Amino acid sequence: MFFTKRKRLSRNFDLSPDEIFVDASNLPKYDEQQFEGRLERAISRRTFYGLLIFCTLLFLAFVGRTFWLMVVEGNYYAERSQSNSLNFTPIFAERGNIYDRNGKVLAWTDNGTSTDKRVGPNRVYLDTPGLGHLLGYVSFPNEEEFSTGKYHPQELLGRDGVERTYNEYLLGERGVRIVEVNAAGKLASDHIVKLPVPGQELKLSIDNKVQTKLYEFMKQIALDHGFSGGGGVVMDVETGEILAITSYPDYDPNVLSLGQDKSLIKKYLTDSNNFMLDRSIGGLYAPGSTFKLFVAIGALAEKTVNPLKNFVTNGKLVVPNPYDKTKETVFKDWQNNGTVDLRRAIAVSCDVYFYIIGGGFGSQPGLGILNIEKYSRLFGLASKTGVNLPGEEDGSIPSPEWKAENFKGEAWRLGDTYHTAIGQYGVQVTPIQLARAYAAIANGGKLLQPTVVKIKPEQAKASSTITVDPSVWQAVREGMRQTVTEGTAKSLNLPNVTVAAKTGSAEIGITKTRVNSWIAGYWPYEKPHYAFAVVMEKGERTNTVGSVVAVRQLLDWMTIYAPEYLK
C-alpha cells in the first residue's frame, strides 16, 4: 500500500524539489524574475470557459456565414462570378450599301480600313464630286443620343443626306459576342450568342454619271465666271424620281466621316461659301423671270388677259403718281421688246408685259397680288416639297400681310405687285420647288412629291392636281418652246432633243450689281420626260455665261454618253 500510495501521489503531483524548497523556506532575498518566493496561479475555470464560449460562437458565426454564402445565396454569387469572367462585346452590323439607279455602289462598309480608334468598321464613299449633300456622312452618337441607350458609343449614325433620312433602314442590328476569361485574365472561350443583322441596301433614283457631270459643269462655270455657288435638279415629270440633284460647293463625305482632317473640316463649317448648305433644297433665291409663267397661268385661268392680245412696250412702264400728277414712277425693262403677246413675252422675258398683266395698267386689269400668291402656291412654290432629304426650306411669296409683318406695318403698293410679278421683291424659292413646278406644267398639273429613291411608277405620289383649261397649258408651253427657238435660251436649241425652258436673272443686294442666274424647263417638248431647274448664285450682272450654259453642256454630254434620258 505504501508503494501504491506513493505511485498514485507521484502520478498526481509532479513537483520539482526546487519549487518545494523555495516556497517552504520563504527566503527573504528571493529573485522575483525566477518566481522565487511565490506560487504561479493557474487560469481560473471561469476565464477558461468564457474564452471557450467566445471561440465557439466565433466559429459558429464563421460556419453560419459560410453556409449563407454557399447555400442560401450560392446561385446569386455563382452568377456574379460567372459574369465577372465573361465580356459581352458588340458585333457591329454592316451598314447597308447605297447604289445609284444603275447599280453603281456609292457608299459601302469597309471592315479593313479602320485607321483610327473605332471599334466598328469605316464608312466609305465613292470618290466622285457632287455626291456629298445627297449621300451625307456618318459619325458617332452624341451625348443625347447615347443617353437614350439605343446606340453604342462606337456605332456610326447618319448625319446628312440619305444617310440621315434612312439611318434606321441602313443601320442594321448589332450582334453580341461573349468572351470568357480565366482567373489569370487569359481567353478561355469565345462564341457568338447573337448574329448581327446587316442593314438593308438602298437604291437611289440618281444616275451617278449625270449627277457628277452636272456638278462639274456648274463648278467650272462658277470658277470661271465668278459665281459663289449653285444648285441643280433634274426630275422625272411622271414619277417625281430625281435623276440628278447637286449643290456647289460640296463637301467630301469621306473627310467628315473619318473626322481626321481637322483643317478641312473647319473650312467646311466656317467658310463664307457655306459648304454645308445644300443649295438645291435649302438655298432660297429670288426666281426672277422663271416666276413669270405662274403669273401667266393665273392671268389666263382668271381670264384677265387673252394670250393673243398684243401690248406695245418700249423698255419701260411709266406710272403717274396718284398723289402728285407732276411726278411719275418708272419701272424699267431689261430691253425694249416692242410689241408682244403672251407667247412672245415669255420668249423674250418682257418685264413690262408681266408688270401689266400682274398689277394692271390703264384699262388692262391685273391679276393682283392675292391671285399671284394663290397661283404660285398652287404650284408648290414657297412650300416644302417633301423630298426625302434633310434640310429642306420653304421660302416666301410676298403679300400685304407679309409686308406689314416684315416692314413695320408698311402698306402694300402697286410697285410691290409689279416687282413680285417678275419674281423679285420678297419671292424666295428653292431649285427643287421650281423643278417640281415646271414638272407640273409639263405633265398637265400633277404636283408630284420628289424622291431620290428608286420607286415603281405606281408608287409615285402627287400632293395635288392643278386644274386649268388645256389651252392654258398649251399657250405657256408654246411660249417656253419659243424661248428656246428664238428667245433668251437659244443655246438650248439642240438637234438631238427638243427643250422648253424659261430663263431668269434675279437682281440681289442693294446695289444690284450681282444676279442669280436661273434656267428651268423640261424635255422632250413633245412628250415631256424630265424637268430641270438650275441656279448659279451671285454672279456679275454683266456676265452672259451662267445656268443656261451648264444645262447646255449637260445635254451635249448626255447626247453622247446618256442618250436614253433624252428620249
**Please, are residues 342 and 479 in contact by the beta-carbon 8 Å criterion?**
yes
- Encode pLDDT of 162-202 as tens digits: 999 999 999 988 888 777 666 556 665 667 778 889 999 99
Distance CA(520)–CA(349), nearest Å, equals: 13
- Whole-Å CA distances, 241 to 84, 388, 390: 54, 11, 17
Residues 6+ apart with CB under 8 A from 178: 86, 87, 88, 89, 190, 191, 192, 193
The secondary structure element, H or E, covering residue 463 is: strand 462-465
Q: So where are the chain's domains?
A: 38-75, 87-203, 208-267+276-565
**Please, are residues 30 and 22 in contact by the beta-carbon 8 Å criterion?**
yes
Decide the pairing of beta strands 530-540 and 229-236: antiparallel
In this prediction, residue 115 carries a pLDDT of 47
Section 44-62 average pLDDT: 85
Average pLDDT, the chain: 88
- Among 23-32, 74-83, 446-455, the least confident range: 23-32
Section 332-358 average pLDDT: 97
Distance CA(392)–CA(436), nearest Å, equals: 14
The C-alpha cell 416687282 sits at: 419
In this prediction, residue 349 carries a pLDDT of 97
- Which amino acid, 184? A
The C-alpha cell 424637268 sits at: 531
Angle (CA) 35 39 40, round 5°: 80
Distance CA(311)–CA(301), nearest Å, equals: 19
**Please, are residues 131 and 59 in contact by the beta-carbon 8 Å criterion?**
no
- Among 150-154, 161-165, 469-473, 483-487, the least confident range: 150-154
Four-CA torsion 443, 449, 455, 457, nearest 10 degrees:
-30
Section 273-288 average pLDDT: 97
- Encode pLDDT of 13-47 as tens digits: 455 655 555 555 444 555 555 555 555 566 777 88
The residue with greater pLDDT, 121 or 249, is 249
- Encode pLDDT of 208-252 as tens digits: 999 999 999 999 999 999 999 999 999 999 999 999 999 999 999
Q: Does domain 87-203 have CATH number 3.30.470.10?
A: no
Domains 87-203 and 208-267+276-565 share a fold: no
Section 385-412 average pLDDT: 96
- From the centroid of its chain, how far is CA 48? 84
In this prediction, residue 30 carries a pLDDT of 54
Q: Got the DSSP string for 173-208?
A: B-EEEEEEE-TTS-EEEEEEEE--BPPPPEEBS--H
Task: Tell me which residue of 288, 309, 175 sits closest to 514, measured CA to CA.
Answer: 288
pTM of the model: 0.82
Choosing among 3.40.50.720, 3.40.710.10, 3.40.50.300, 3.20.20.140, the CATH entry for 208-267+276-565 is 3.40.710.10
In this prediction, residue 476 carries a pLDDT of 98
In this prediction, residue 280 carries a pLDDT of 98
359 pLDDT exceeds 90?
yes
In this prediction, residue 34 carries a pLDDT of 57
Write down the H helix ranges in 380-498: 400-406, 414-421, 431-443, 470-486
The secondary structure element, H or E, covering residue 344 is: helix 342-348
Task: Tell me which residue of 107, 156, 109, 159 sits closest to 128, measured CA to CA.
Answer: 107
Section 482-495 average pLDDT: 97
In this prediction, residue 143 carries a pLDDT of 81
